[in-house]
């Protein structure tokens, strides 16, 4: 274990704060990454994210499909002192990329991003946030609040030349049982790709998958990369820890993984690797990763993790005032030796690389449940319009800012609707990734979904007590006077939905703000052939549901069933 000498430290600080040329843009052609000269680019990365507070309670983990998740995070790119401290060590490791899992877009990242750029290090940035800032694997939805969150982060980081990729999600689909979440993840990739194209950004769009048996692992990879380019991710990551100790392609399963990914038409990489269960970590997988046959399929990987973790994956420790001194471990030294010894093949070059290909999507079966029909683009204009003009009962702001209570209220109110003998349900605000059916308001924020449920229940029993819910709700001052008024307002709002339900989101600043959600997506552009097929079903369902209005008010117009996008 060692630290930098004072002389070396001073030289390193000067080096990373000096003015240098910006890093060149990395592009994808087919399944490979290339630099501007046409040579292959390989990711030699390390995870760079301090561990946040873990969600320790079973209730908190249950909300995330049983997965333990951090309930808070530390933005590693907002501290220039820490970046100045760490970048010399990242350079010692020989990395050209860091993977960052959570950032706060309200903070300033100029110093760190500039220093990383000067050091020749790209950033692979996850745009989701722990707990309520990501697609929920146990109850998935691709909604306006998530779209706004993702694009807000992208708006902040778009000015930095060294953003290599934006990861739209990490390990959302974890078992065969929740493959129904996959359509929501792919819809997020589709919309973020369209958004980046709309603002002229060159960064790639990726997803990082959990490992599993061959059928699960390969189906997920094929699902996220199948079909037209506008709905496929650009780069697909696998979080894999099967190479433990001094193994090889066969007994680590890396040979089988490489074969299973051989027909993936986009760039792939190991988005996490570095098993700790057969210590010491020898990192012999590095040599395999950057040589054939693995390099014929994978474009490098990200070792886990630079920062210490509670379960033993870190490579450095900190001491001194405010953790200003770095002590490296034997893990660090061995990885640096392996990374600095790599000389991956420059084959194929861009001029010789095959053009982009298209593969078929997996078919549904008893273990792969995901429909190939994706949810629509979250349309905040429609959500805000219906919320402001057609809903009589609203969640109080204090409750709307408490996601756990909001979720419990939504479950409770939907159960009331289901048992009310009114014929109404919460299908309007729900979706089904297995059937490809998505309610006309399924993409709205949780608060607006709850306003729908509250208002539907209130219309079934229009007395003040029906809009109380233990003081968590209140009647809107500008609520519709009659059921017919609500019907007219809702129909007018739903008419704003563009054909196909898929469009290019606009930057949040260009859309009007709502009292219940942040400003967000507009409605322009077009989607894939798949979304065009969805248009007819969606429009027809809106028309059919309007016929149910008589005698049922809002519940009739919006509660008659999910929109069929097949």
Of the residues 171, 380, 497, 541, only one is catalytic, namely 171
What is the token pair recorded at 82? 């820490």
CA 538/CA 566 separation, integer angstroms: 9
What is the token pair recorded at 147? 């779209």
CA 542/CA 561 separation, integer angstroms: 9
CA 124/CA 147 separation, integer angstroms: 19
SS3 164: strand
Exposed, middle or buried, 5 (CB in 10 Å: 0-12/13-18/19+)?
exposed
**What is the widest separation between alpha-carbon atoms in the chain?**
81
H or E element: which one contains 47?
A: strand 43-47
What is the token pair recorded at 5? 């000498």
Give me the helices (H) in 55-163, please.
58-62, 80-93, 110-118, 144-157
Of the residues 63, 69, 149, 272, only one is catalytic, namely 272
SS3 95: coil
Residue that is written with structure tokens 């756990």 in the block: 404
Exposed, middle or buried, 532 (CB in 10 Å: 0-12/13-18/19+)?
middle
**Which residues, at least 6 apart from 24, have a Cβ–Cβ distance to it below 8 Å?**
35, 36
Q: HSE-up of 400 (CA within 13 Å, CB side)?
A: 19
Among 1, 143, 15, CA closest to 87:
15
Residue that is written with structure tokens 């969150």 in the block: 149
Q: Is 149 a catalytic residue?
A: no
Residue that is written with structure tokens 């306003």 in the block: 451
What is the CA 464 to chain-centroid distance, rounded? 40
Among 292, 290, 311, 315, CA closest to 301:
290
Strand partners, 34: 27, 40
What are the backbone dihedrals phi and psi of residue 268, each rounded to the nearest 5 degrees, phi first? -125, 155
CA 391/CA 474 separation, integer angstroms: 11
SS3 548: coil
**418 contacts 441 by C-beta, under 8 angstroms:** no
Q: Is 171 a catalytic residue?
A: yes
**138 contacts 64 by C-beta, under 8 angstroms:** yes
Exposed, middle or buried, 219 (CB in 10 Å: 0-12/13-18/19+)?
buried
Q: What is the set of active-site residues?
A: 171, 272
């Amino acid at each position: 274990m060692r630290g930098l000498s004072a002389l070396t430290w001073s030289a390193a600080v000067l080096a990373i704060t000096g003015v240098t040329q910006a890093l060149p843009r990395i592009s994808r052609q087919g399944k490979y990454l290339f630099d501007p000269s046409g040579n292959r680019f390989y990711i030699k990365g390390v995870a760079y994210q301090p561990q946040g507070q873990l969600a320790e309670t079973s209730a908190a983990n249950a909300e995330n499909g049983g997965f333990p998740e951090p309930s808070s995070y530390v933005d590693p790119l907002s501290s220039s002192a820490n970046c100045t401290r760490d970048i010399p060590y990242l350079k010692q490791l020989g990395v050209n990329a860091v993977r960052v899992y959570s950032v706060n877009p309200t903070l300033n990242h100029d110093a760190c991003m500039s220093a990383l750029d000067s050091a020749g290090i790209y950033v692979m940035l996850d745009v989701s946030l722990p707990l309520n800032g990501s697609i929920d694997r146990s109850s998935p939805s691709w909604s306006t609040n998530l779209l706004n969150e993702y694009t807000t982060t992208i708006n902040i980081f778009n000015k930095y030349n060294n953003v290599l990729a934006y990861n739209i999600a990490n390990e959302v689909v974890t078992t065969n049982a929740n493959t129904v979440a996959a359509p929501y993840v792919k819809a997020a990739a589709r919309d973020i790709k369209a958004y980046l194209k709309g603002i002229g950004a060159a960064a790639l769009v990726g997803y990082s998958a959990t490992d599993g048996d061959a059928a699960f692992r390969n189906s997920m990879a094929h699902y996220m990369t199948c079909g037209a380019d506008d709905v496929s991710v650009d780069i697909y990551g696998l979080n894999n820890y099967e190479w433990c100790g001094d193994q090889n392609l066969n007994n680590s399963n890396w040979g089988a993984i490489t074969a299973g990914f051989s027909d993936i038409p986009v760039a792939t990489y190991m988005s996490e690797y570095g098993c700790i269960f057969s210590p010491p970590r020898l990192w012999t997988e590095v040599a395999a990763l950057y040589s054939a046959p693995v390099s014929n399929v994978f474009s490098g990987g990200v070792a886990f993790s630079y920062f210490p973790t509670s379960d033993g994956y870190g490579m450095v420790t900190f001491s001194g005032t405010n953790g200003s001194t770095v002590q490296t471990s034997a893990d660090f030294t061995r990885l640096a030796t392996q990374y600095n010894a790599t000389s991956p093949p420059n084959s194929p070059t861009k001029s010789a690389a095959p053009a982009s290909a298209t593969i078929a999507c997996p078919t549904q079966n008893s273990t792969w449940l995901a429909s190939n029909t994706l949810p629509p683009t979250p349309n905040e204009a429609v959500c805000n319009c219906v919320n402001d003009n057609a809903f009589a009962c609203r969640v109080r702001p204090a409750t709307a800012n408490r996601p756990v209570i909001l979720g419990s209220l939504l479950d409770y109110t939907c159960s009331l609707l289901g048992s009310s003998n009114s014929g109404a349900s919460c299908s309007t605000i729900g979706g089904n990734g297995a059937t490809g059916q998505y309610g006309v308001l399924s993409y709205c924020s949780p608060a607006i979904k709850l306003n729908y449920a509250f208002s539907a229940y209130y219309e079934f029993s229009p007395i003040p007590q029906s809009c109380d819910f233990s003081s968590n709700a209140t009647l809107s001052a500008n609520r519709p006077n009659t059921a017919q008024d609500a019907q007219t307002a809702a129909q007018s709002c739903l008419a704003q939905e563009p054909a196909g339900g898929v469009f290019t989101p606009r930057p949040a600043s260009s859309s009007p703000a709502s009292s219940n959600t942040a400003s967000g997506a507009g409605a322009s552009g077009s989607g894939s052939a798949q979304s065009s097929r969805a248009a007819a079903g969606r429009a027809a369902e809106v028309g059919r549901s309007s016929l149910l209005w008589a005698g049922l008010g809002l519940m009739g117009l919006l509660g008659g069933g999910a929109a069929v996008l097949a």
